[in-house]
Amino acid sequence: MRTYKEHMSRLSTIEKLEILADAAKYDASCASSGTAKRNSLGGPKGRGGIGSTEGMGICHAYAPDGRCISLLKVLLTNHCVFDCHYCVNRKSSNVRRARFTPQEVADLTLAFYRRNYIEGLFLSSGIVRNSDHTMEQLVEAARILREEHDFRGYIHLKTIPEADPEIIHRAGLYADRVSINVELPTEAGLTRLAPDKKASTIEGAMGGMKLAIAEARDAKKRFRYTPGFAPAGQSTQMIVGADAARDTDIIGKASALYNRFRLRRVYYSAFSPIPDASAVLPLKRPPLMREHRLYQSDWLMRFYGFAPGEVQQAAEADGMLPLDIDPKLAWALRFRENFPVDVNRAPREMLLRVPGLGTKAVKAMLAARRYRTLRLDDVAKLTVSVAKLRPFIVTADWRPTLLTDRADLRGLVAPRQEQLELFAP
Amino acid sequence: MTAMQDIAPRSFYCVQLPASDDFDLWRERARALVQCDVPPDRVVWIEPGATGDLFGGGEFGGRERRLPVPGDDARPVRASRAFLRLAKNAALHSDPQRFALLYRLLWHLQTNTRLLEDRTDPDVRRLEELDKAVRRDSHKMHAFVRFRRVEHSDEEEAGEHYVAWFEPEHHILRANAGFFVRRFAQMNWSILTPQGSLHWDGESLAEGPPAQRGDAPSGDPAEDLWRTYYASIFNPARLKIGAMLKEMPKKYWKNMPEAALIPELVAGAQACEAGMVERGAMQEEERPETLEAIDRAIHACQRCLIGALDNRAVMGEGPQHASLMIVGEQPGDQEDRQGRPFVGPAGQLLDVHLQRAGIERERAYVTNAVKHFKYVMRGKRRLHQSPAAKEIDTCRWWLEGERELVKPRMMLALGASAARGLLGKTVSISKARGTPHRLDDGSELWITAHPSYLLRLEGEAREAQERLFEADLAAVARRLAELEA
Write out the DSSP string of B422-441: HHSS---HHHHTTS-EE-TT
Task: Tally the C-alpha atoms within 13 A of residue A198's C-alpha that lie toward its C-beta.
Answer: 6
Within an 8 Å CB–CB cutoff, is residue B114 touching chain A?
yes
Size of interface A-B (CB pairs under 8 A): 199
Answer whether B226 sits within 8 Å of A24, measured CB to CB: no
Task: Give me the torsion for CA of A389, A391, A393, A394, rounded to 10°.
Answer: 130
- Report whether B424 contacts B463 (CB < 8 A): no
State the burial class of residue A400 (Cβ atoms within 10 Å of its Cβ: 0-12, 13-18, 19+).
Answer: middle
> Chain B, 206-265: which have a CB under 8 Å from a chain A CB?
220, 222, 224-226, 228-244, 247-248, 256, 258, 262, 265
Within an 8 Å CB–CB cutoff, is residue A275 touching chain B?
yes
Residue A49 is predicted with a pLDDT of 85
Residues of chain A found within 8 Å of residue B164, distances taken between Cβ atoms: 116
Whether the per-residue pLDDT at B70 is higher than 60: the answer is yes
Residues of chain B found within 8 Å of residue A64, distances taken between Cβ atoms: 234, 239-241, 244, 262, 265-266, 269
CA distance B31 to chain A (A): 27
Answer whether B386 sits within 8 Å of A94, measured CB to CB: yes
Answer whether A66 sits within 8 Å of B118, measured CB to CB: no
Whether the per-residue pLDDT at B104 is higher than 50: the answer is yes
Residue of B nearest to A91 (CA): B426
Residue of B nearest to A70 (CA): B143
Residue of A nearest to B140 (CA): A60
- Report whether A341 contacts A393 (CB < 8 A): yes
Whether the per-residue pLDDT at A195 is higher than 60: the answer is yes
Residue B405, amino acid: L
Residue A1 is predicted with a pLDDT of 45
Question: Which pTM was predicted?
Answer: 0.72
> Helix/strand/coil (H, E, C) string of B132-201?
HHHHHHHHHHHHHCCCEEEEECCCCCCEEEEEEECCCCCCCCHHHHHHHHHHCCCCCEEEEECCEEEEEC
Integer Cα distance of A66 and B229 in angstroms = 16
Residue of A4, A68, A91, A117 for testing the chain B interface, max B β-carbons within 10 Å: A117
Residue A44 is predicted with a pLDDT of 59
Residue range A55-67: average pLDDT?
90
Residue A226 is predicted with a pLDDT of 64
Domain boundaries, chain A: 4-301, 337-413
Residue B275 is predicted with a pLDDT of 61
Whether the per-residue pLDDT at B280 is higher than 50: the answer is no
Whether the per-residue pLDDT at B56 is higher than 60: the answer is no
Q: What percent of chain B is modeled with pLDDT above 70?
A: 91
Nearest CB to A114 within list B147, B256, B425: B147
Hey, what domains does chain B have and what are their CATH numbers?
3-132 (no CATH), 145-215 (no CATH), 232-282 (no CATH), 291-484 (3.40.470.10)
Integer Cα distance of B43 and B63 in angstroms = 9
Residue B283 is predicted with a pLDDT of 45
Whether the per-residue pLDDT at A405 is higher than 70: the answer is no
Answer whether A371 sits within 8 Å of B117, measured CB to CB: yes
Whether the per-residue pLDDT at A425 is higher than 70: the answer is no
Task: Tally the C-alpha atoms within 13 A of residue B94's C-alpha that lie toward its C-beta.
Answer: 12
Residue B367 is predicted with a pLDDT of 96
Nearest CB to B143 within list A43, A60, A368: A60
pLDDT, tens digit (0-9, with 9 covering 90-100), for B154-168: 655 557 899 999 999
Closest to A423 measured CA to CA, from B364, B92, B47, B273 = B273
pLDDT, tens digit (0-9, with 9 covering 90-100), for B207-251: 999 999 999 998 899 999 999 999 999 988 778 888 899 999 999
Answer whether B120 sits within 8 Å of A68, measured CB to CB: no
Nearest CB to B117 within list A43, A58, A370: A370
Whether the per-residue pLDDT at A417 is higher than 60: the answer is no
- Report whether B176 contacts B197 (CB < 8 A): no
Residue B467, amino acid: R
Integer Cα distance of B60 and B303 in angstroms = 75
Within an 8 Å CB–CB cutoff, is residue A58 touching chain B?
yes
pLDDT, tens digit (0-9, with 9 covering 90-100), for B314-370: 999 999 889 999 999 999 999 999 999 999 999 999 999 999 999 999 999 999 999
Residue A4 is predicted with a pLDDT of 52
Answer whether B238 sits within 8 Å of A65, measured CB to CB: yes
Residue range A275-293: average pLDDT?
66
Whether the per-residue pLDDT at B64 is higher than 70: the answer is no
Closest to B172 measured CA to CA, from B206, B125, B130, B121 = B130
pLDDT, tens digit (0-9, with 9 covering 90-100), for B425-441: 788 899 899 889 888 77
Residues of chain A found within 8 Å of residue B239, distances taken between Cβ atoms: 64-65, 423
Nearest CB to A65 within list B144, B240, B276: B240
Within an 8 Å CB–CB cutoff, is residue A108 touching chain B?
yes
Integer Cα distance of A394 and A411 in angstroms = 21
pLDDT, tens digit (0-9, with 9 covering 90-100), for B187-210: 999 999 999 999 998 889 999 999
Answer whether B117 sits within 8 Å of A72, measured CB to CB: no
| Mean predicted lDDT score pLDDT of chain B | 87
- Report whether A95 contacts A23 (CB < 8 A): yes
Answer whether B269 sits within 8 Å of A58, measured CB to CB: no
Within an 8 Å CB–CB cutoff, is residue B467 touching chain A?
no
Answer whether B248 sits within 8 Å of A61, measured CB to CB: yes
Confidence category of residue B288, pLDDT binned at 50, 70, 90: confident
Nearest CB to B118 within list A41, A48, A372: A372
pLDDT, tens digit (0-9, with 9 covering 90-100), for A208-264: 989 888 888 888 777 766 667 888 889 999 988 888 889 999 999 999 999 999 899
Residue B3 is predicted with a pLDDT of 45
ipTM over 0.95: no
| Mean predicted lDDT score pLDDT of chain A | 85
Whether the per-residue pLDDT at A404 is higher than 70: the answer is no
Confidence category of residue A171, pLDDT binned at 50, 70, 90: very high
Answer whether B426 sits within 8 Å of A54, measured CB to CB: no
DSSP strand pairing (B381-384 vs B375-378)? antiparallel
Residues of chain A found within 8 Å of residue B186, distances taken between Cβ atoms: 40, 43, 45-50
Answer whether B236 sits within 8 Å of A275, measured CB to CB: no
Q: At the top level of CATH, which class does the domain A4-301 belong to?
A: alpha beta
